[in-house]
Structure 1
Amino acid sequence: MAKPSSDHDSDPNIRLYNPYQNYDVPINAPYLYKLPTSPEFLFTEESLHQRRSWGENLTFYTGSAYLAGSISGAAVGFYSAMKNFEQGDTLKLKINRILNSSGQSGRAWGNRIGVIGLIYAGIESGVVAATDRDDEWSSVAAGLGTGALYRAARGVRSAAVAGALGGIAAGAVVAGKQAFRRYMPI
């Protein structure tokens, strides 16, 4: 297909693109998209920081944590319901017991772990903004702060223990992620 001439042909900042150019698809316009030719980032330093924004970070961690908590809670509720079956229960009653127990546990676990994901995302974004570094230590500091803040209402000792566990958990996730990247290249 020959490229039609238009006023955009002389503009070096626009690249015309037709995703159907290799197929026999009749379309009205020969080029559907006008793609920019300029770089995505204004400065090269910006392109080196491949990171989600704080809003995307907040949504990702909160949603992932809520989903993982809901699935884990539903599994615990399923096990609890299976364990509490009585001798004369009908199939309909067993299914109802499983659904009620799974739903109740799933919601409770999802909310708890979703809040932890929300706190972690906020602290990690704050640490990265304050230090202007996005490295492993930022994640560990965010895990430490998340554990301490989540258990702060139960006292200093509980906050310190939870903070240490949060820092260890974040460090383990970072180490596992690096090991995965090293030994499982994608």
Structure 2
Amino acid sequence: MATNHTSDDESTRLYHPYQNYELPINSQYLYKLPTSPEYLFTEESLKKRRSWGENLTFYTGTGYLAGSLAGAASGIVSGVKSFEYGDTAKLKVNRVLNSSGYKGRLFGCRVGVVGLIYAGVESGVVEFMDRDDGWSSVVAGLGTGAVFRAARGVRSAAVAGALGGMVAGGVVAGKQVLRRYAHI
């Protein structure tokens, strides 16, 4: 068992391998283990980026959750608008639940797929360019928009790609502004 003790060096923790056994062993067998992750190569420790699998999970899950919440909110509004004169309370609740569930699933799946495509394109761009900066995010946004609307034709893909690039650029610029002025 590893136990955290405050010592002169905060980056280590004490580890006693025989702690759970009632053996008369001195404290000379305590080991100081580092608390930070250990890397095999120094290049791994210099990267401050999530892996492609973590990105895939993060962007897809976040997109699905945000899309589901937005779709549910939109569904609540449309469910309330669909009330008719003489509806009972059960029927009104049923309309709201059906509408919010339908739109929540629909929006959640669409935005989740956009997050999935973005994570894949961004990981490919970072791997190809061998750098991770704001421009790779903008290129990934451009590619995501183009791929998402590619089935509707070249013009639709070009417009969606431009919009995706602008949205990604806006997010990158907003992130830089927050870092500079909000000290995040």
Q: Gaps spanning 5+ residues in structure 2: where?
A: 1-11
Are 2:147 and 1:140 equivalent residues in the alignment? Answer: no
Q: Secondary structure at the match of 2:14?
A: strand
**Of 33, 37, 50, the match for 1:36:** 33
Q: Matched residue pairs, number?
A: 164
Task: Give the structure-1-normalised TM-score.
Answer: 0.81
Residue 16 (structure 1) shift: 2.0
**Of 102, 106, 109, the match for 1:108:** 106
More deviation, 101-110/41-50: 41-50
Query: Following the alignment from structure 2 to structure 1, what is the Cα–Cα distance between the partners of residues 152 and 32?
Result: 55
Q: Secondary structure at the match of 1:36?
A: strand
More deviation, 71-80/35-44: 35-44
Task: Give the structure-2-normalised TM-score.
Answer: 0.81
Query: Following the alignment from structure 2 to structure 1, what is the Cα–Cα distance between the partners of residues 110 and 142?
Result: 17
**Of 42, 45, 48, the match for 2:43:** 45
More deviation, 43-52/119-128: 43-52
Q: Secondary structure at the match of 1:42?
A: coil
Give % identity.
70
Conserved in 1, the CA contact under 8 Å of 2:15 and 2:33?
no
Query: Following the alignment from structure 2 to structure 1, what is the Cα–Cα distance between the partners of residues 134 and 66?
Result: 23
Q: Gaps spanning 5+ residues in structure 1: where?
A: 1-13, 19-26
**Of 70, 73, 87, the match for 1:72:** 70
**Of 171, 174, 177, the match for 2:175:** 177
User: Cα RMSD between the aligned structures?
Assistant: 2.4
